[in-house]
Amino acid sequence: MRNVRLDIAYDGTDYAGWQIQKNANSIESELRNAILKNNIELFKLTGSGRTDAGVHANGQTANILINSTIPDDRIKFALNNKLPDAIRVLHSEEVDLNFSARYSALAKYYSYHVNLDKIANPIMRNYSWNFPYSIDKDRLDYITHYLSGRHDFYNFMSTGSKVKTTTREIYFIKPKFNNNDLVINYFGNGFLYNMVRILTGTILEYSAGKLSQDRIDNIFKSKNRKLAGITAPAKGLFLEKVFYNFNEIEDFWQRFLDIPKSFQLK
């Protein structure tokens, strides 16, 4: 038996998310079908985490326990030959049997794409959220810093999630503008169900003056989901990368925030 890590990209528009579901097509089901069509004996398939219907990925990770003579670096080509065009395995590599795409993960990086034009560009309708309101950049800077760090993010979780703790640490939330397009980047040690989408809705509503300062001040003090903002649509969300190595995390942090190499992640 071999354990092979897969790095996967997909357009989630026409899929019911990562996880297999009854009466709905998913990324996981397409991947399983491609494995079986290549006569690969599959013992187990594990994803780094589920993405919702309509969510996209540039760097989803999975590992497959298999019995096959196909070289690990050729597995990506075999699977891509059987996968639909909306899904591609970018990298395949044999790893230690103890590696788990889910339980070995140390951090994740998501991006959320927003268009601020008064009239949305229809070409981007499946890949960004049109939010046609003026953004106060001082309020945007304040709220992204306020929500970063280690907190109990109970108010930023949709119902239906079963977790032992709702405390997570967001290393940084970094907004970047390109004219009227805004990308909000999230880097943290883990995220709750719909957490990034609720954070995005909160950030945008506060930055547009639609949420009061009083609500924000009490957002971590009371377990009341109504204090946070709306849940942003799935279509603007991308899973960019999953991290399994502390050196890789530190290098990414430094490069993304232009931090000197003398910085040490603690």
Q: Which residues are CB-neighbours of 158 under 8 A, at least 6 positions away?
A: 193, 194, 198, 231
C-alpha distance from residue 226 to each of 39, 150, 154, 245 (Å): 50, 21, 11, 37
Q: How many degrees, rounded to 5, is the angle at CA 265 between CA 237 and CA 228?
A: 40
* Catalytically annotated residue among 11, 52, 136, 152: 52
Domains (range + CATH), the chain: 2-95 (3.30.70.580), 107-257 (3.30.70.660)
Is 7 noted as a catalytic residue in this protein? no
Q: Which residues are CB-neighbours of 94 under 8 A, at least 6 positions away?
A: 2, 3, 4, 5, 72
Per-residue confidence of the chain (266 residues) as pLDDT tens digits?
Answer: 999 999 999 999 999 999 998 889 999 999 999 999 999 999 999 999 989 999 999 999 999 999 999 999 999 999 999 999 999 999 999 999 999 999 999 999 999 999 999 998 999 999 999 999 999 999 999 999 999 999 999 999 987 677 889 999 999 999 999 999 999 999 999 999 999 999 999 999 999 999 999 999 999 988 888 899 999 999 999 999 999 999 898 888 888 877 655 545 55
108, 191 contact by CB (below 8 A): yes
- SS3 call for 142: helix
